[in-house]
A and B are shown apart, each in its own frame.
Chain A
Amino acid sequence: MILIGLGYGCKGGAATAALASDAAKRVYVAPGEKDEVYAFLSGGFSGQMSVYGIPSTRLFKIIPVFSVFPENGYGYDEETKNMLRTTHGYIPWDDSHHIEASMTDGKQDGRWLFLNANNTPRLARIDLKSFETKEIIEIPNSAGNHASPFATENTEYLMAATRFSVPIPQASVPIENFSKGDFKGTVTMVKVDPKSGRLSLELQILVPGFDYDLSHCGKGKSHDWCFFTSYNSEQAYKMIEVGASKNDKDYILAFNWVRAKQCLDQGKASNFGGEYYRNYLPENQPAISEKLSGVKMLQPKDCPGVMYYMPTPKSPHGTDVDPTGEYIVGGGKLATVIPVHSFSKLMDVKDKPEHRSGMIMDIPILKYESTLAGEVKKPCLGPLHTEFDGKGYAYTSCFVSSEVVKWELGTWEVQQHLPAYYSVGHLSIVGGSSKDPYGKYLIALNKITKDRYLPVGMELPQSAQLYDISGGKAELLSDFPTVGEPHYSQMIPAKLLMDKAAKIYPLEENKHPYAIKNEKDARVVREGNTVRVYMTQIRSHFKPDTIEVKSGDTVFFHVTNLEQDFDIPHGFAVSGAPEMPNLLIMPGQTRTFKWKAPKPGIYPFYCTDFCSALHQEMQQYIRVLP
């Protein structure tokens, strides 16, 4: 108490705001008990995704998506390294911002998660049975895939829009030509196969050269539409901080994707260049990497009614659609109000000339007041993102004033200010971006921690805060440090996923071309200077266990874990192997380690995952002959 008192005396204010007195009980999950919710947090600049249990906030797993992962060899082994192929070559890192959960009829269906790569435009699909990245598709004619991957109501499409406008197709033009309209953006419709989840590029739409920031798609009555925020409508290209902040209003782009598809079917899109990779990881087989080229490109002038601009103050960042599909909430990072557009009003006025104030690239600009449903007045400083609890309330994160503001839809009245520690970006409610929020927990994803944890050098962990929003007043329950930058999150009720999780790869279904299913088939096969080792693992040995190769041979270790028991992976590592940190091979899985046999000598190899009482004995030797 004295310490708390002193802390208060020294610091005061938000940092010591009272916790709900029984908060510890409400986040305590007893040993052996399960959490209620899965929280999937994107890794921001770590390029990964992490899985936490809510309310305990325990970290369960890190899923590598766009970044190599030494823990299990993702991106290094022969099976997965092609997942990171792009037209720029092999890229073992990216900046991953937004997670979208697959939906059926606007509700989470627990099949897949999607994640964007901002730096080298890509989209990934993560399977929620195996919690593994299964597909990565590159987005051509884009530079900075930020407003992505936001799904339509039935996951028909994922939207991806350009953050950095560039000449499209790419060209070396003077940078000042940005303001002359030489730079463009694109909106990409990525089709999701409803059965397999396979991704394909269906259509791109060429849009004015602004910076497209975030997106959300409609639901219910607004099913046909997606909404994209844009900043830098000034098309500034120097000191953008100042130049892009001049206009009182930038825009939310309302995009009718059903209309776009119609125009595509009517042949109004033209063939356009652009090369891209599509990398797909079939179940327990090596990734298939295809280089594809050309997309269908639609010009808004050829497809009237496909797009409208809704002016929104001031450099809008987030755009979020409420569960009914009626309200489109803008988050103007420099704005003093939270503007809310009405979908019904948009439908009423979009084609009436008196409600227009101009055109950009044949896209009508509507008048601000014409689509406005209301404004939340003076809510906070720097409103960014909004999520909904399904009970008529919205929660908006405010970066500058470092808080979450609860307000009521319809009355636009602020109900509550919740301090955040510190600089909150996105926030997430369980199912909060779907038609059917579960509405019990909210997490705020913060950029800065300062005094929250023990200092650990200059770089502090980023953090998330957990609030209970089930009652009348939201209450802070706990905060927890996170992996990477917890950029955005999808939270899914555990009951939707936990029983569907895969436990093993059934050995009889293993179609890996180099799998063996029996110790008797373990062997070493030489083909010229290439040696293939067909190897098996069980607790606690490898077969074959001693191997001889020649210096300079290219050796492929095709290792199959013969176990069929839940949670019995085996590791595989060779001493001094320069390009392979480790392989973690799941029960029934086959993975391949490529090794250039080095100078003559004896090289140990061993299991790295503590598998059994005789784990330390799970080790053998490779002799490299001169």
Chain B
Amino acid sequence: MQKLLLKKISKMNRLLILGVGLLLVSVYFLPIWHISLDAPQYPEGLGMKIWIDKITGSSTYDLQNINLLNHYIGMHEIVSESVPELLFMPYVLGFLIFGAFVTFLYPRVYLTILGILNIIILGILGMYDFWRWEYNYGHNLNPDAPIVVPGMAYQPPLLGCKEMLNITACSFPSWGGIILFASLGILAFIVWNEKRRMDVSK
């Protein structure tokens, strides 16, 4: 086990690590998550995107229109400024990218595993945080709101689709999120590949 951890990874896998680093850079420019809202009176659909550093509407005025709908039920206005995590998330991503380049320069299996753990921890914390925000938005409603449905909360799903009044809300990873998952897969493949090569050479 120790031998595997300290093993220097192959040239091919080293290039893959570099690839992961470069791929992660694109997460700065792609939305990570996407929530869509469908209702009969919105035939063109409404949606919002969560980026590494901001929240936007799927098209120019979607966020404004979502907030306009939400004001009936007393939901807080969704604006990037109210989510402080968005301020340091770019640095967390930078740390992952930095790790990939370190591993490229000092190619060891244990660094790769560290990368896997980082992404998993980040993923779990990120999803928890996301859920917490959804929970807060969906439950902490203004009691003076014009529309109060007893027992009703408006928490969107973490993953998948959910009916809320006449709106179907769907929540799925977007390109940035898919890249994060793919990076995790590539790193796992590298570790598996190194272990196999070690077993073969025994």
Residues of A at the B interface (CB closer than 8 Å) are 504, 538-540, 563-566, 612-614, 617
With A and B bound together, what is the CA distance between A614 and B60 in angstroms?
A: 25
Q: Closest CB of chain A to B149's CB: distance in Å?
A: 12
| Shortest Cβ distance from residue A516 to the other chain B in the assembled complex, whole angstroms | 16
Residues of A within 8 A of B61 (CB): 504, 564-565
Q: Which residues of B contact A566 (CB under 8 A)?
A: 44
Interface core residue of B61, B65, B146 (most chain A CB under 10 Å): B61
Assess whether B87 is interfacial by the CB under 8 Å rule.
no
How many angstroms between the C-alpha atoms of A612 and B44 in the bound complex? 18
Q: How far is the CA of A539 from the CA of B65 in the complex (A)?
A: 10
**Nearest-Cβ distance from residue B72 to partner chain A, whole angstroms:** 7
Interface residue B105 (Cβ < 8 Å from any Cβ of A):
no
Contact A613 B68 (CB under 8 A): no
In the complex, are the beta carbons of B146 and A538 less than 8 A apart?
Answer: no
> Which residues of B have CB within 8 Å of A539?
68
* With known contacts A614-B146, A617-B146, A565–B72 Cβ distance under 8 A: no
B140 proximal to A (CB < 8 A): no
Are the CB atoms of A613 and B72 closer together than 8 Å? yes
CB of B168 within 8 Å of the partner chain:
no
> B68 to chain A: which residues have CB within 8 Å?
538-539, 563, 565
- The interface size of chain B toward A, counting residues with CB under 8 Å, comes to 9
Q: Are the C-beta atoms of A613 and B147 separated by less than 8 Å?
A: yes
Task: Please report the C-alpha to C-alpha distance between residue A198 and residue B60 in the assembled complex, in whole angstroms.
Answer: 30
Question: How far, in angstroms, from A563 to B147 measured CA to CA in the complex?
Answer: 20
Given A613-B72, A614-B72, the answer on whether A565 and B146 have CB atoms closer than 8 Å is no
- Using CB atoms, name the residue of chain B closest to A539: B68
Interface members, chain B 43-71 (any A CB < 8 Å): 44, 60-61, 64-65, 68
Chain B residues with Cβ below 8 Å from A613 are 72, 147
Among B44, B65, B68, the most chain A Cβ lie within 10 Å of the Cβ of B68
- Complex CA–CA separation, A566 to B65 (angstroms): 10
Which B residues lie within 8 Å of A538 (CB)? 68
Tell me, in angstroms, the Cα distance from A613 to B71 when the chains sit together. 12
Query: Which chain A residues border B72 with CB–CB below 8 Å?
Result: 612-614
A565 in contact with B147 given A613-B72, A614-B72 (CB within 8 Å): no
Q: A617: nearest residue on chain B (CB-CB)?
A: B146
Contacts of B146 in A (CB 8 A): 540, 614, 617
Which B residues are CB-close (under 8 A) to A563? 68
Which residue of chain B has the shortest Cβ distance to A508 in the bound complex?
B60
- Whether A564 contacts B147 in the complex (CB less than 8 A), given A613-B72, A614-B72, comes out as no
10 residue pairs, one from A and one from B, having the closest CB atoms? A564-B61, A565-B65, A564-B64, A614-B146, A539-B68, A538-B68, A565-B61, A613-B72, A564-B65, A563-B68
Q: Which residue of A lies closest to B41 (CB)?
A: A567
Could you jot down 20 A-B contacts, CB within 8 Å? Answer: A504-B61, A538-B68, A539-B68, A540-B146, A563-B68, A564-B60, A564-B61, A564-B64, A564-B65, A565-B61, A565-B64, A565-B65, A565-B68, A566-B44, A612-B72, A613-B72, A613-B147, A614-B72, A614-B146, A617-B146
Q: Which residue of A lies closest to B46 (CB)?
A: A565
The distance from the CB of B196 to the nearest CB of chain A, in whole angstroms, is: 55
Name which residue of chain B comes closest to A564, CB basis: B61
A262 to chain B, nearest CB (A): 49
A566–B60 CA distance with the chains assembled, in angstroms? 12
Roughly how many angstroms separate A564 CA and B67 CA in the complex, as a whole number? 12
Known: A564-B65, A614-B146, A617-B146. 17 other contacts (CB 8 A): A504-B61, A538-B68, A539-B68, A540-B146, A563-B68, A564-B60, A564-B61, A564-B64, A565-B61, A565-B64, A565-B65, A565-B68, A566-B44, A612-B72, A613-B72, A613-B147, A614-B72
Within 8 Å CB of A564, what residues of B?
A: 60-61, 64-65
**Nearest Cβ in chain B — how far from A569, in angstroms?**
14
CA distance A617 to B147 in the complex (A): 13
Which residue on B lies nearest to A567, using beta carbons?
Answer: B41
Closest to A32 in B: B43
Task: Output the nearest chain A residue to B146 by Cβ-Cβ distance.
Answer: A614
Q: Which of B100-121 contact A (CB under 8 A)?
A: none
Select from chain B the residue with minimum beta-carbon distance to A538: B68
Would you give the shortest CB distance from A46 to chain B, in whole angstroms?
A: 33
When distances are taken between beta carbons in the complex, the residues of chain A under 8 Å from B64 are 564-565
What is the CB-to-nearest-CB distance from A503 to chain B, in angstroms, rounded to a whole number? 9
Separation in Å of the B53 CB from the closest CB of chain A? 22
Shortest distance from the beta carbon of B78 to any chain A beta carbon, whole Å:
15
Residues of A close to B60: CB separation below 8 A: 564
| Complex-state Cα separation, A612 to B71, whole angstroms | 12
Q: Which residues of B contact A540 (CB under 8 A)?
A: 146
Give the distance in Å from the alpha carbon of A564 to the alpha carbon of B64 in the complex. Answer: 8
Residue of B nearest to A540 (CB): B146
CA–CA, A151 and B146, complex, Å: 55
CA distance A179 to B153 in the complex (A): 85
Give B24 Cβ to nearest chain A Cβ, in Å. 34
Complex CA–CA separation, A276 to B98 (angstroms):
72
B148 → chain A closest CB, angstroms? 13
B69 and chain A: residue at smallest CB distance: A539
Complex: how many Å from CA A47 to CA B118? 71
Bound CA span A566–B62, Å? 11
Contacts of B65 in A (CB 8 A): 564-565
Question: Which residue on chain A has the smallest CB distance to residue B60?
Answer: A564
Q: Scoring B residues 67 to 110 as 1 if CB is less than 8 Å from chain A, else 0, what string do you get?
A: 01000100000000000000000000000000000000000000
Distance in Å: Cβ of B165 to nearest Cβ of chain A: 11
A612 proximity list for chain B (CB < 8 A): 72
Q: Which residue from chain B places its CB closest to the CB of A566 in the assembled complex?
A: B44
> Which residue on chain B has the smallest CB distance to residue A614?
B146
**Roughly how many angstroms separate A614 CA and B61 CA in the complex, as a whole number?**
22
Report Cα–Cα, A539/B71, bound state, in Å: 9
> What is the distance, in angstroms, from B77's C-beta to the closest C-beta of chain A?
12
B195 → A minimal CB distance (Å): 55
- Give B64's nearest chain A residue, CB to CB: A564
Distance, CA A617 to CA B44, complexed state (A) = 27
Q: What separation, in Å, do the CA atoms of A566 and B43 have in the docked complex? A: 11
CB distance from A610 to the nearest CB of B (A): 13
A423 to chain B, nearest CB (A): 43
User: In angstroms, how far is the closest chain A Cβ from the Cβ of B71?
Assistant: 8
Q: State in angstroms the CA–CA spacing of A564 and B68 once bound together.
A: 10
What's the Cα separation between A504 and B64 when bound, in Å? Answer: 13
B21-46 to A contact mask, C-beta < 8 Å, 1/0:
00000000000000000000000100
- Docked Cα-Cα span, A539 to B68, in Å, equals 7
Taking CB atoms, residues of chain A closer than 8 Å to B44 are: 566
Least Cβ–Cβ distance between A33 and chain B, in angstroms:
13
Bound together, the chains give a CA A433 to CA B163 distance in angstroms of 53
Interchain CA distance A565-B72 in the complex, whole Å: 16
* B125 to A: closest C-beta gap in Å: 35
Residues on B with C-beta less than 8 A from A617 are 146
Chain B residues, CB < 8 A from A504: 61
How far apart are the CA atoms of A565 and B67 in the complex, in Å? 12
Bound CA span A564–B60, Å: 9
